[in-house]
Structure 1
């Protein structure tokens, strides 16, 4: 790895290297403190800030290349502590000042709109890329993220007793042996944000932990949004309004989403149970039912389900190039399902695939008229409710997406997505999308409002 000009040397001595990282971070912070807030800087000031941050990041990157595994061993007490992503980066901030942003720095940063931030999460991306690259540290972190959340463990007794819970963004209800997870962000077309990820991971954990549940379903609820009032919607993807406001985080949303509930849907939940000696995770088959559309993150979700049903009037899209960010693990999985050419048409060109198109069968298992979707869901849940299905889905997933491949992809994703979050084109696009959505909502509200008496 070639260092940027002027980068201090990082040697094999961990103590010395740690001081170099801290010194580089302090020098960058001192320079930034002399400049106006990010949104008020002129081109020359932005260039000076960029040079200072790049130099410090080059030091961090080289440090993690040389000492990343040792850092992770120290933070996890020799791999004996299972730290989730927020705990890991918080521990790194305390033990290695300047390596990743501190809690106080993040608090200031999170209060700013995306366009006004310094981009401190890029430093988290540097740190997590090297952790995930490591065969031992990366595997340990992914295993830690496969554990049930404390929230789910606390709610499990109530769910087992009542068979239903309203988590805020998601409702979960046990019907027979099936857990019905319904996304109910009714005002924003089930667009995802930090809270949505928290609630959906909790719901997935509950479905996997409850021994009375043998199969799961994910579906969108009925909307109150003026443009789709009374209709079910699967997902509008990432909440661009929240991203514009600076409320979509790398650790709590973008990485937790992939390493948390989506990975649990695919590979199961790591818990102590009677069969842990031969299979250390609890897995169950999953069905997705698409009403209206599955956009962005909604389309990504479909790629890990065992059976995907869709209403004939629905469509799937993954507008990553239009939004400017990386579509989660969609780039890893879409090519396997649909082929390289269609992947590029969807991801790079913004192609929508309508449920009735022949190519839709590469992503959807069954397409039915909207009034037949409930019956198709019931049939699929019944057919997949089998121990043999569980074992065979495990073997299919192992063959199609080996854990090492997923780990390698997520290492680079951590870095590239952090950079994309703070790129000028993304910030500009998100601002335009948010303004356009606001104008559309106002126009729809005016059109649907009652005339004055």
Structure 2
């Protein structure tokens, strides 16, 4: 764990102290039983060793984040996504972030039996995103089309249809219709859904035949909602309890990937587009049943939201112990600070039939009228003037640097929350109680 930094270049100040603290922590952990089998004294010993190394790591990155990032990206000439960036850092700066072997061991364990190595990824990514030079470069890398979308684009351009495990994408009459189709789990979000959603959003944005995007939940096979449409049940708490909700590939990729692309668009790779760096489209959402947690978070980045009159919205993440993505940054813009606190801190549920729901949705219609309302909405948003005004609204309402500052702190705070004793207890209870 003490190999020299990238390319054998001279180590920055503080590197030796960091590697020594990392080695000490690893020796302490190696001598102890696994997390769930530790006594109170052993847990305190482990935490003290990890916190000593994390304090050194944070101080080192406060001073050298730009140097580290520039070495990893070859002077910001390479555009590494967050998963590629942390993997590169693991190889070039041993001890700065967890190794692939450490992460693989963690992924094989339930959340309660992990050491929390992802917290070190959060420390690293917070420092990168805080930087006024490295941070914007990383955001730009995350707005580029995914490799999977690039591979699927020719087929989608030809057929207008892509079927994925969690999302079905169809182009019809200039509208990209994204249907979330995890019918057995109420569109509860996991790593696969994030990958499918980013792929679908990329394809919709890259297709010149698409003028407007539509997001809706499909019909469910889940026994409680069989045959009914549902928008989203939010994060899959069973997967969180079992250790299958990663920080980088789910929580951060979701926010910096497809959700940010819904706001900013996909990075244009055509040099002929001299007047813009991004390809953007207006988006409509149709909420059937409910939009819980991550479902409501999605609505905050879309341009027009239609809700069935019997639907509801909620953000229960605080009750679960985690942070509801970027909702803390965006929700007040729509609903104001008082309602934001009621929904985010106290778990208040907003029914579409309530007057205050109109702060969050644009139309409330009877369930039987949803299809007609959707077609009217996509027709209203189909126009060049809509597109440019949307861009200017997003620039005014969500400045890029403000978003970056939020995501920097989110990267660390959400990592810490994943390993909170209260979170592990609550999601464990949920997983044990659900059929």
1:285–1:306: 8 Å Cα contact kept in structure 2? Answer: yes
**Equivalent residue for 1:446?**
none
Does residue 20 of structure 2 align to residue 23 of structure 1?
yes
Q: Distance in 1 between matches of 2:157 and 2:13?
A: 53
Deviations 1:81-140 (Å, cap 9, x if unpaired)?
Answer: 000000000000111110100001000010000000000000000000010000110000
Q: Distance in 2 between matches of 1:33 and 1:61?
A: 23
Unmatched runs of 5 consecutive residues or more in structure 1: 1-12, 439-453
Query: How far does residue 198 in structure 1 lie from its aligned partner after superposition?
Result: 0.4
**Equivalent residue for 1:289?**
286
**Equivalent residue for 2:36?**
39
Q: Distance in 2 between matches of 1:313 and 1:437?
A: 24
Give the 3-state SS of the residue equivalent to 2:434 in structure 1.
helix
Superposed, which structure 2 residues align to 1:124-143 within 5 Å?
124-143=121-140
Q: Distance in 2 between matches of 1:321 and 1:208?
A: 33
Which among 413, 418, 422 is matched to residue 419 of structure 2? 422
Does residue 429 of structure 2 align to residue 411 of structure 1?
no
Does residue 184 of structure 2 align to residue 203 of structure 1?
no
**Equivalent residue for 1:217?**
214
Which among 183, 186, 196 is matched to residue 183 of structure 2? 186
**Equivalent residue for 2:5?**
none
**Equivalent residue for 2:251?**
254
Does residue 389 of structure 2 align to residue 399 of structure 1?
no
1:147–1:271: 8 Å Cα contact kept in structure 2? Answer: yes
Q: Distance in 1 between matches of 2:432 and 2:338?
A: 33
Q: Distance in 2 between matches of 1:315 and 1:275?
A: 44
Q: Distance in 1 between matches of 2:185 and 2:148?
A: 25
Superposed, which structure 2 residues align to 1:299-310 within 5 Å?
299-310=296-307
**Equivalent residue for 1:3?**
none
2:12–2:64: 8 Å Cα contact kept in structure 1? Answer: no
Q: Distance in 1 between matches of 2:157 and 2:224?
A: 37
Query: How far does residue 16 in structure 1 lie from its aligned partner after superposition?
Result: 4.7
1:22–1:96: 8 Å Cα contact kept in structure 2? Answer: no
Does residue 44 of structure 2 align to residue 55 of structure 1?
no
RMSD of aligned residue pairs (Cα, Å)? 0.9
1:86–1:251: 8 Å Cα contact kept in structure 2? Answer: yes
1:18–1:96: 8 Å Cα contact kept in structure 2? Answer: no
Q: Distance in 2 between matches of 1:175 and 1:290?
A: 20
Give the 3-state SS of the residue equivalent to 1:98 in structure 2.
coil
Give the 3-state SS of the residue equivalent to 1:227 in structure 2.
coil
Query: How far does residue 26 in structure 1 lie from its aligned partner after superposition?
Result: 1.1
**Equivalent residue for 1:9?**
none
Q: Distance in 2 between matches of 1:58 and 1:16?
A: 15
Q: Distance in 1 between matches of 2:67 and 2:271?
A: 34
Query: How far does residue 274 in structure 1 lie from its aligned partner after superposition?
Result: 5.9
Does residue 142 of structure 2 align to residue 148 of structure 1?
no
Unmatched runs of 5 consecutive residues or more in structure 2: 1-9
Q: Distance in 2 between matches of 1:427 and 1:202?
A: 31
Query: How far does residue 300 in structure 1 lie from its aligned partner after superposition?
Result: 0.4
> How many residues matched?
426
Which among 96, 99, 117 is matched to residue 99 of structure 1? 96
Query: How far does residue 176 in structure 1 lie from its aligned partner after superposition?
Result: 1.1
Superposed, which structure 2 residues align to 1:231-242 within 5 Å?
231-242=228-239
Change (3 A) 1:105 1:185: same
Q: Distance in 2 between matches of 1:272 and 1:85?
A: 19
Q: Distance in 2 between matches of 1:276 and 1:72?
A: 28
Q: Distance in 2 between matches of 1:323 and 1:101?
A: 26
Q: Distance in 1 between matches of 2:432 and 2:290?
A: 22
2:57–2:123: 8 Å Cα contact kept in structure 1? Answer: yes
1:179–1:217: 8 Å Cα contact kept in structure 2? Answer: yes
Deviations 1:364-400 (Å, cap 9, x if unpaired)?
Answer: 0000000100000011111101111110000001000
**Equivalent residue for 1:245?**
242
Give the 3-state SS of the residue equivalent to 2:357 in structure 1.
helix
